[in-house]
Amino acid sequence: MKKKYKLQDLDCANCAAKMEEGIRKIPGVEEVSISFMTQKMTIVAADDKFDEIMKQAAEVCKKIEPDCKILL
């Protein structure tokens, strides 16, 4: 399943790259890309685990950029 999400308060491109790298390591994630310029994240992941993957992705984002939120 492929979904796009808006990111709120993403402050730097380096943080976006770190978040992308961290989310890519989550089991079940096939592909992820985060655009600092558009403040959007595209994620491709297993349908049956998508909600759990998104919870883990939110945690990864919070560790790297505490103010950043994924608008679900």
Q: pLDDT, tens digit, for every residue of 10-27?
A: 999 999 999 999 999 999
- Indicate whether 58 pLDDT > 90: yes
Query: Do residues 11 and 19 lie in contact, with contact meaning Cβ atoms separated by under 8 Å?
Result: no
Confidence tier at 34 by pLDDT (50, 70, 90)? very high
pTM: 0.92
Burial class (CB in 10 A: 0-12, 13-18, 19+), 49: middle
CATH 3.30.70.100 describes domain 2-71: yes
Question: DSSP secondary structure string, 17-44?
Answer: HHHHHHHHTSTTEEEEEEETTTTEEEEE
- Domain residue ranges of the chain, discontinuous segments joined by +: 2-71
